[in-house]
Amino acid sequence: MSEAKAPEESIAAQLNLKDGDYVQEFGYDDDVDADLRGRIEDAIGSELFDEDAQEVVDAVVLWWRDGDGDLVDELVDVQTTLDDGGVVWLLTPKAGRQDHVSPADIQEAASTAGLHVTSAARVSPDWTVSRLTPKRNF
């Protein structure tokens, strides 16, 4: 309807999520974008699985801030329940925000953890998302 609604309506398309997808969330804290979380849950038709879930999931949402620890270790850990072909959506504070993580640091950590950074986009006023996919050995 309005231009302000367009980004909200496209979250499913931006993150390639659909009704019935299983999505696990890591790094939840008081600073996450509640509206974005709600739009993700609306897109998949259910709540996000928490960090303790053991289900095989189609995607992982990882909220990450500078100072949260070792990103490589976290990226390796979040892949344990990720289905073949699954995607890690790494959400980091936008440039200029407190606890911003540089794209170079994301690229290096992803590569070390066996992932490729395939795209990045702004999905909320305070957060940027990077799409990480497993490396393929051909």
Whole-structure pTM value: 0.90
Residue at 33 is within a domain = yes
129: domain range?
11-134
87-98: pLDDT as tens digits: 999 999 999 999
Residue at 95 is within a domain = yes
CATH number of the domain within which 19 lies:
3.40.50.150
37: pLDDT confidence band, cut at 50, 70 and 90? very high
Residue at 82 is within a domain = yes
Q: What is the pLDDT of residue 135?
A: 84
113-127: pLDDT as tens digits: 999 999 998 889 999
Residue at 5 is within a domain = no
Please tell me the number of Cα atoms within 13 Å of 40 on its side-chain side: 24
